[in-house]
Amino acid sequence: MVAHHLAGCAPTTGAGRSNGEGKLGENECRYMRSYVRLRITVGVIGISLPVMLIFFEATLLDAPIHARDSISSHYHSPARDWFVASLAVIGILLITYMLGTWKSTEFAASTIAGFALLGVAFFPTNRPGLPPGAPLCQATPKPPDCTDLELRLGENLWAGDIHLTCAGIGLASLGVIAFLWAGRRVGAEE
């Protein structure tokens, strides 16, 4: 759908308006290109995030490379800041990029996914690899790898559960967006 509109971009005959031949005006083309670039940015950050986290740990942070149980395990790694920042950026972009179509199902799914990713970013997952009987974050003295949020909310009872719930909602919402996008693509080709 977007590519179809971009194909209609042409110089305008007036102040950013359509030239009457079905072509988009200059301003409309700028907005459409911006929209497409925003979607590409979200996709590039999301797809490259696992590789970026491993790269940053190994090169910039001089941390050992090892396989993690999940991407969320990076919350408890030296790459935590990169993980949280990337998810926060994707979350904000998902919330804002569909604002022009706020009555659509895709807007609702995108907004839900964005807020869910913010939840994933700001509520840590349970610490990976804890042996049975290891002290939880509420213990005194505080274990060294616990965050203040885990201390306040509890490691297993709230923070980890909120993280997992937000991750599930976010993935489901992204699935809805993909389904809607695929449906539009199939309809446009017919």
The full set of domain ranges for the chain reads 42-189
> Global pTM?
0.76
Q: What is the pLDDT along the chain (190 residues), one digit of tens a residue?
A: 455 556 667 544 444 444 455 566 777 888 888 888 888 888 899 899 988 888 888 887 777 777 778 888 888 888 888 899 999 999 999 999 888 788 889 899 999 999 999 999 998 888 887 788 888 887 788 787 787 877 777 776 678 889 999 999 999 999 999 898 888 766 666 5
Answer positive or negative: Cα dihedral of 141, 69, 72, 168.
negative
Over its C-alpha atoms, the chain yields an Rg (Å, rounded) of 21
Among candidate residues 50, 91, 43, the one with its CA nearest the CA of residue 67? 50
Q: Contact at 8 Å (CB) between 77 and 57?
A: yes
Tokens coding 152? 């306040």
